[in-house]
């Protein structure tokens, strides 16, 4: 009896049909898993028999409209939400994947013949200055040849172009390789053109977001904030990532927090990783002195009393970047 009641409860409100092709191609559509969830919620909302004015207030419907996944249309004289833009984008993915299979196999076979796996590993060790190639990275490099059909030289040029743009880890260059493959790029000239046109700021911001535990698409304010760090304050990506790592040690990692830390570093003249590390060590040293009740001196040079020392200690927590930088 309970199973029957549960089944009825489960199915009473209806179902949302989502093609598996949509789920399998969310990367090609530049959809994060989080945004896919928003899209499915919007699809469910659109199936409800409610007036258009009510539907327009739904937060998920607002989201798909703002992101261009849906639009308003007219059906039988009534205003309706249409997901035609979504299906049009998925159709474009379908067209890209409908390449001559025999032609791809021929190219792949031609490239696999001269694959020199050791040459790639040697290049990576030389560039990084250490034997740092992991087992997972070796698997990915083999996939570039076996699945994508890339030759040794093509892989080396791809890696060099990625490394020049700061994408030096498997987590950053593997998704780029997938995009290169999905765009049907097989020549060096096409590869260089593609890499030059790629939005590298997007990838860098995504890396910062992952570092602080945020997922989903990159927002305009996040992109503009990153450009400020890079162009106005002249910080390299490695310094920005170090600031992001520093916020993870706190209870509120965020872009706002990173911005405050980098603003502090900019005022102190930090230019590189070495300078950032010195700023962090100086901060930790000052924090340690405060936590251990180091005596403070007044303007006249005399040591302040226990009352003032106690007051300072009470205003310092286990990780006090918030206090120094004024983060709420």
Could you tell me the residue ranges of all domains in the chain?
2-94, 99-198, 204-288+316-325
- Please tell me the predicted confidence (pLDDT) of residue 21: 85
- Evaluate whether 152 touches 114 at the Cβ level (below 8 Å): yes
Tokens standing for 169? Answer: 């880890």
Does the predicted model carry a pTM greater than 0.85? no
- Evaluate whether 172 touches 135 at the Cβ level (below 8 Å): no
Query: What CA–CA distances, in Å, run from 131 to 117, 141, 156, 163, 233?
Result: 15, 16, 17, 17, 34
pLDDT in tens, 263-314: 999 999 998 989 999 999 988 888 777 666 655 444 344 444 444 333 333 3
pLDDT in tens, 142-165: 889 888 989 999 999 999 998 888
Q: Which fold has domain 2-94?
A: Arc Repressor Mutant, subunit A (1.10.10)
Give me the mean pLDDT over the 170-182 stretch. 87
């Amino acid at each position: 009896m309970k199973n029957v009641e549960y089944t009825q409860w489960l199915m009473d409100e209806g179902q949302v049909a989502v093609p598996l092709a949509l789920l399998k191609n969310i990367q090609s559509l530049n959809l994060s898993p989080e945004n896919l969830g928003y899209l499915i919620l919007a699809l469910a909302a659109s199936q409800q028999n409610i007036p258009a004015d009510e539907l327009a207030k739904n937060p998920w419907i607002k989201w798909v409209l703002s992101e261009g996944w849906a639009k308003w249309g007219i059906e039988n004289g009534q205003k309706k939400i249409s997901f035609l833009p979504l299906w049009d984008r998925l159709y474009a993915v379908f067209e890209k994947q409908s390449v001559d299979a025999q032609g791809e196999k021929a190219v792949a076979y031609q490239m696999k013949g001269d694959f020199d796996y050791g040459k790639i590993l040697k290049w990576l060790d030389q560039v990084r200055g250490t034997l740092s190639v992991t087992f997972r990275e070796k698997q990915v490099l083999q996939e570039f040849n076996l699945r994508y059909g890339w030759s040794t030289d093509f892989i080396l040029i791809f890696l060099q172009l990625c490394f020049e743009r700061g994408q030096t880890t498997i987590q950053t260059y593997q998704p780029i390789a997938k995009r290169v493959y999905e765009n049907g790029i097989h020549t060096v000239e096409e590869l260089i053109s593609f890499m030059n046109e790629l939005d590298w700021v997007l990838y860098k911001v995504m890396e910062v977001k992952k570092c602080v535990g945020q997922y989903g698409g990159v927002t305009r304010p996040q992109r503009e904030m990153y450009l400020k760090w890079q162009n106005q304050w002249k910080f390299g990506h490695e310094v920005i990532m170090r600031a992001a790592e520093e916020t993870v040690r706190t209870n509120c990692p965020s872009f706002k927090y990173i911005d405050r830390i980098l603003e502090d570093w900019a005022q102190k003249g930090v230019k590189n990783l070495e300078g950032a590390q010195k700023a962090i060590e100086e901060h930790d040293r000052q924090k340690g002195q405060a936590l251990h009740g180091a005596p403070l001196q007044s303007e006249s040079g005399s040591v302040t009393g226990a009352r003032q020392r106690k007051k300072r200690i009470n205003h310092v927590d286990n990780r006090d970047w918030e206090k120094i930088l004024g983060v709420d």
